[in-house]
């Protein structure tokens, strides 16, 4: 099948490469000349496990091409995916200008009947706007569909190749048959292709992300209650998650969600609900809890070391919003680091893959280290934001020897509090009792008296 994917960002690249892998003739089009030149040279602009060899293999086989000629890609393809960005507008609603610009280009360029699919995350009613934009430019029949993506960054290739489900919103049986054929290779193990009306498909994407975000904010609220009462959030999580109606997924307490999906999708759904006069208070609370949770580690560090951090060195492990990606959009690490810099701290950071991306956000205001251990030299505290595998079983004696003060603030609950007590760390995690370093653990005894009482709440 001849397929065009308009937009070569995260979603477009994964969709284009995976569709080419199953034998389709795929052209990915983007107006960013530099990005297309890099892709044609085999240089992948994002970090996503498994994507680079997939693109290289299909480029070599001739099933995948990259171009800046959007009109030409439209003319030569029967199925066209719109996969451009939909960033949040100032009021939180999704900005559809790029989606509708592509729709107008499709209308001006198409010479025969097309199936046009919104792959970008868009609010309910967008397919209608896309249809209107196309039909304003042409009288040729067009089938406009919604096919939301449910990709997890860090596992996107596997998610596309082996999906839990494929959701397709259609207006015609012809489009339904065509898209069933396109997706058949990905559901051979029995996972469902769900055909529904277009508005239902558009809402499904936002509803799914909002539900996952709700679980995260809910568990973070419970973690605060655990801290206030002395309960262990891990025990609570297991007790709740063992209920078959609930399950354990997305019930991990932490420093809040980030990335390109949950923050903007929750905001957009809140905005949509307001437009339709539907009570949005649950989702507004989800967002409010998350924004507060992102400040947790910063506030706890300030409680321990004081408001003025001039002369203090803080090590940061993990910059990406989650492991297995270099994405730092809405990353909790940015909230912590900006707060540290405002208070005069020296910030020394490490991330296995997100260092270049961090430079785009933070420039040379922080220091970047090649290894996680080198970031600890002389540190007054270590703050952990991302649960990368190399951070999970570190050399604790080496860490303690390198640090000025053995203070760890763990935003992902990577370590066992009992182990941290044995190693002599002051260890603050999420929803668990704080562990205080044993006497004499600090290299600078003058600083010990500056810490706040154990268990002080923020």
366-407 pLDDT, tens digit per residue, is 999 999 999 999 999 999 999 999 999 999 999 999 999 999
Question: What confidence score (pLDDT) does residue 444 get?
Answer: 40
Q: What is the Cα–Cα distance from 287 to 198, expressed in whole angstroms?
A: 27
Say if residue 440's pLDDT is above 90. no
Question: What confidence score (pLDDT) does residue 188 get?
Answer: 85
Strand 426-428, strand 407-410: pairing:
parallel
> In the chain, what percentage of residues exceed pLDDT 90?
90
Question: What confidence score (pLDDT) does residue 90 get?
Answer: 75
Asked if 116 and 103 count as a contact pair (C-beta separation under 8 A), the reply is: yes
Question: What confidence score (pLDDT) does residue 439 get?
Answer: 55
What average pLDDT does this structure show over 88-98? Answer: 84
Question: What confidence score (pLDDT) does residue 260 get?
Answer: 85
Q: State the helix-helix crossing angle for 233-241 and 198-229, rounded to 10 degrees.
A: 140
The two tokens of residue 131 are 């249809």
* Poorest-pLDDT segment among 119-128, 165-174, 384-393, 433-442: 433-442
Please tell me which residue in 18, 28, 226, 261 is annotated as part of the active site: 261
In sequence order, what are the residues at sequence separation of 6 or more whose Cβ sits closer than 8 angstroms to the Cβ of residue 363? none
Among all chains, which residue has been given the structure tokens 């790029």?
98
Q: Which of 300, 126, 114 is nearest to 224 (CA)?
A: 300
Q: What 3-state class would DSSP assign to 423? A: coil
* Poorest-pLDDT segment among 37-46, 157-166, 212-221: 37-46
Q: What is the Cα–Cα distance from 146 to 166, expressed in whole angstroms?
A: 11
What average pLDDT does this structure show over 42-55? Answer: 92
What average pLDDT does this structure show over 54-80? Answer: 96
Question: What confidence score (pLDDT) does residue 443 get?
Answer: 44
Is-catalytic flag, 28?
A: no
Domains in the chain with CATH codes: 2-189 (3.40.50.720), 206-292 (1.10.1040.10), 294-448 (3.40.50.720)
Say if residue 37's pLDDT is above 90. yes
Say if residue 448's pLDDT is above 60. no
What does DSSP assign to residue 386? -
Does the pTM surpass 0.85? The reply is: yes
What average pLDDT does this structure show over 116-123? Answer: 94
Give me the residues paired with residue 66 across strands: 28
Say if residue 16's pLDDT is above 50. yes
- How many other C-beta atoms can be found within 10 angstroms of the C-beta atom of residue 192? 11
What average pLDDT does this structure show over 313-327? Answer: 97
Higher-confidence position of 260 and 167: 167
What is the per-residue pLDDT across 220-272, written as a single tens digit (0 to 9) for each? 999 999 999 999 999 999 999 999 999 999 999 999 999 988 999 999 999 99
What does DSSP assign to residue 436? P
Among all chains, which residue has been given the structure tokens 């562990």?
435
φ/ψ of 277, rounded to 5, equals: 55, 45
Question: What confidence score (pLDDT) does residue 406 get?
Answer: 97
What is the per-residue pLDDT across 183-200, written as a single tens digit (0 to 9) for each? 999 998 777 899 999 999
The two tokens of residue 195 are 């055909």
Among all chains, which residue has been given the structure tokens 């909230």?
335
Q: Which of 448, 413, 441, 418 is nearest to 428 (CA)?
A: 413
Asked if 48 and 325 count as a contact pair (C-beta separation under 8 A), the reply is: yes
What average pLDDT does this structure show over 43-53? Answer: 93
Question: What confidence score (pLDDT) does residue 457 get?
Answer: 30
Q: Which of 417, 407, 416 is nearest to 442 (CA)?
A: 407
The two tokens of residue 252 are 């991990």
């Amino acid at each position: 099948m001849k397929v065009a994917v308009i937009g070569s960002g995260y979603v477009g690249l994964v969709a284009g490469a995976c569709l080419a892998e199953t034998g389709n003739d795929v052209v990915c089009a983007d107006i960013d000349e530099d990005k297309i030149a890099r892709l044609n040279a085999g240089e992948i602009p994002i970090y996503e496990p498994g994507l680079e060899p997939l693109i290289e293999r299909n480029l070599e086989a001739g099933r995948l091409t990259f171009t800046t000629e959007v009109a030409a890609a439209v003319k030569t393809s029967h199925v066209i995916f719109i996969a451009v960005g939909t960033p949040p507008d100032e009021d939180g609603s999704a900005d559809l200008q790029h989606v509708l610009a592509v729709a107008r280009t499709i209308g001006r360029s198409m010479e025969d009947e097309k199936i046009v699919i919104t792959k970008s995350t868009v609010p309910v009613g967008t397919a209608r706007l896309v249809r209107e934009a196309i039909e304003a430019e042409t009288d040729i029949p067009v089938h406009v569909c919604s096919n939301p993506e449910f990709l997890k960054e860090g596992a996107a290739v596997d998610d596309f190749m082996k999906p839990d489900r494929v959701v397709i919103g259609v207006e015609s049986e012809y489009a339904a048959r065509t898209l069933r054929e396109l997706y058949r290779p990905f559901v051979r193990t029995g996972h469902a292709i769900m055909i529904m009306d277009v508005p239902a498909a558009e809402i499904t994407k936002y509803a799914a992300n909002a539900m996952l975000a709700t679980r995260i904010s809910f568990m973070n609220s419970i973690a605060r209650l655990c801290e206030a009462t002395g309960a262990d959030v891990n025990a609570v999580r297991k007790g709740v998650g063992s209920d078959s109606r609930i399950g354990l997924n997305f019930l991990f307490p932490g420093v809040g969600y980030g990335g390109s999906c949950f923050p903007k999708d929750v905001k957009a759904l809140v905005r949509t609900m307001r437009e339709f006069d539907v009570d949005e208070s649950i989702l507004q609370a989800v967002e409010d809890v998350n924004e507060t949770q992102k400040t947790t580690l910063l506030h706890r560090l300030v409680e321990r070391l004081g408001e003025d951090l001039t002369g203090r060195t803080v090590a940061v492990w993990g910059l990406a919003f989650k492991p297995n990606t270099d994405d730092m959009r809405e990353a909790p690490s940015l909230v912590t680091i900006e707060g540290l810099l405002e208070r005069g701290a020296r910030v020394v950071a490490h991330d296995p893959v997100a260092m270049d991306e961090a430079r785009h956000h933070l420039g040379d205001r922080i220091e970047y280290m090649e290894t996680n251990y080198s970031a600890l030299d002389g540190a007054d505290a270590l703050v952990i934001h991302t649960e990368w595998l190399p951070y999970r079983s570190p050399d604790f004696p080496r860490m303690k020897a390198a640090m000025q003060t053995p203070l760890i603030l763990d935003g992902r609950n990577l370590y066992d509090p009992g182990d941290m007590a044995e190693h002599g760390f002051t260890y603050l995690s999420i929803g668990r009792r704080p562990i205080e370093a044993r006497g004499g653990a600090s290299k600078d005894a003058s600083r010990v008296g500056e810490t706040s009482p154990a268990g002080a709440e923020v």
